[in-house]
Amino acid sequence: MDAAVLAIWVLRLLFLAMLYAFLYLVVKALVRDLRAAAREPTTELGRLVVLASPGGEPAPGASFALDAITTLGRDVNNSIVIEDKFVSATHAALTYRGRAWYVEDLGSTNGTFVNGGQVDGLSPLAFGDEIQVGQVRLRLERARS
């Protein structure tokens, strides 16, 4: 009888041990996945989110992944085409140099504004800054990880 009780006791603990063996393997796999994800490089440098756009093109709420050089304007050859009557054909350019973003007015008629102030030549840009071209407001955001 005692041998049977002992055997049942061992079996019972073995079942609990199996649960933890499973959890151990799963957690090991999860940690490996996390490490692999941390090594993956992100190619995206930043995002531009449209806050307000009376013309509807680009749509409010749209978000663009940015290359190192992104141009804004009404001409179809711009990276981001803005359909607004106060926007010039080639209005402004966003460039990523070193480790920072810059905005530059490309000789537009109505100017480019950062956080309400007009840009004169090359102006540094931080994440969270608001850019206005014509009636369109956009915000620079960090790349999604």
Partner 1 sequence: MSALTPTPASLRAVTGVQRRFRITPRFRGRELVLLSIVGFGLWVGALSLGATRRLKDAIAEGGDVPANLFQPAMPNIILTYVAALFVVHALFVVAGRRTDQILLPAVGLLGGIGLLLMIRLPQDLAGRLGGLGLTQLVWLLIGLAIIAVLGVAVRNDVWLRRYKYTWAAAGVGLLLLVFIFGNETNGARLSLTIGPFSGQPSELLKVILVVFLAGYLSENRPLLVEESTRIGPITLPPLPYLAPMVAMWAIALGIVIVQRDLGAALLFFAVFLLLLYISTARVSFVVLGVGAFIVGASVLYFLFGHVRQRIDVWLDPFADPTGAGFQIVQALHAFARGGLLGTGLGNGLPTIGGRPPIPALHTDFPFAALGEELGLVGILAILGLYLVLLERGLRIALAAQDEFRAILAAGLSLVMGVQAFIIAGGNLKLIPLTGITLPFVSYGGSSLLANAVIVGLLIALSERTREPLPPPRRAGRLRRLFDRGAV
Binding site for partner 1 (CB under 8 A): 1, 4-5, 7-9, 11-16, 18-23, 25-27, 29-30, 33-34, 37, 49-51, 60-61, 63, 69, 71, 77, 79, 90, 93, 95, 104, 106-107, 139, 145
How do beta strands 122-125 and 130-133 pair? unpaired
Nearest partner of 61 among 52, 69, 74, judged by Cα: 52
We find the least distance from the C-beta atom of residue 4 to partner 1, in angstroms, to be: 5
Residue (50 or 82) nearer to partner 1, CB: 50
Tell me the two tokens of residue 11.
Answer: 């079996």
**Please, what's the b/e burial string for 13-49 (b: 16 or more CB within 10 A of its CB; e: otherwise)?**
eeeeeeeeeeeeeeeeeeeeeeeeeeeeeeeebbbbb
Residue (129 or 139) nearer to partner 1, CB: 139
Residue (107 or 124) nearer to partner 1, CB: 107
Sheet strand arrangement including 63-65: 63-65, 47-52, 136-141, 130-133, 112-114, 117-118
Q: Are 129 and 108 in contact (CB under 8 A)?
A: no
Residue (71 or 132) nearer to partner 1, CB: 71
We find the least distance from the C-beta atom of residue 85 to partner 1, in angstroms, to be: 22
We find the least distance from the C-beta atom of residue 26 to partner 1, in angstroms, to be: 5
We find the least distance from the C-beta atom of residue 93 to partner 1, in angstroms, to be: 5
We find the least distance from the C-beta atom of residue 84 to partner 1, in angstroms, to be: 18
